[in-house]
Amino acid sequence: MPFVLAIFGLFSSMFCLCILLLLTLLGIICSTCNYISSIKSLRKVRLIS
């Protein structure tokens, strides 16, 4: 029984790590997209002015 619990704990911790990695990647992608869009909007403002 402890063996099964150990395997379950290992899988759950790996699952949590995978979710954290995915969330971190999503955050990086979102911030990069926001950065690019802000640069584009700044260029548009410079062109207009």
In tens, the pLDDT along 4-46 reads 999 999 999 999 999 999 999 999 999 999 999 999 888 887 7
Which comes out higher in pLDDT, residue 15 or 47? 15
User: In the 8-state DSSP scheme, what is residue 49?
Assistant: -
Q: What pLDDT score was predicted for residue 2?
A: 85
pTM beyond 0.75, yes or no: no
Output the six-digit token pair for 15: 């699952």
- The H or E element that residue 10 is part of is helix 2-48
Q: What pLDDT score was predicted for residue 18?
A: 96
Maximum Cα interatomic distance, the chain, rounded to a whole number of Å: 72
In angstroms, rounded to a whole number, what is the distance separating the alpha carbons of residues 20 and 13? 11
In angstroms, rounded to a whole number, what is the distance separating the alpha carbons of residues 17 and 22? 9
